[in-house]
Amino acid sequence: GHERCGAVKATLDATKAPAPAPAAGHAAEAHHSHIPALVKEIEPAIWAAKGRTGPELDACIESNVEHSAGQITSRSDIIRQFVADGKVQIVGGVYDLDTGRVNWLSSVPQSAYVRVRR
């Protein structure tokens, strides 16, 4: 993930706002058809971040990284097997856009972590 993530912020904002009226016309629907799918992927991380300390957006970004790490192993039999065999680890982090540094998250379950081992 990265700080100030627009997709996470938009999803966070969407969870706070009343549902919008459907867009008029097929062109508007086609142009934005990817947004509901993106929100659906990020929304569980937003709810999981509730109650965390610190700035809300930062907590949601970290939660999204953790959620994404878990999704990698749940959606890929190959990666899940490589993790189980100790061949790879999934490592979660948040990229700082200002400094270029990555804040590695220890909260990502070790069973879900990706680092290539040879």
Whole-model pTM? 0.75
**C-alpha–C-alpha distance, residues 102 and 93, integer Å:** 6
Tell the CATH superfamily of the 6-112 domain.
Carbonic anhydrase (3.40.1050.10)
In a structure prediction context, what are the per-residue pLDDT tens digits for the chain, which is 118 residues long?
A: 999 999 999 999 988 887 665 555 554 445 566 778 888 999 999 999 999 999 999 999 999 999 999 999 999 999 999 999 999 988 899 999 999 999 998 765 555 444 444 4
> What pLDDT, on the 0 to 100 scale, is given for residue 52?
93
**C-alpha–C-alpha distance, residues 51 and 63, integer Å:** 12
Strand partners, 93: 104
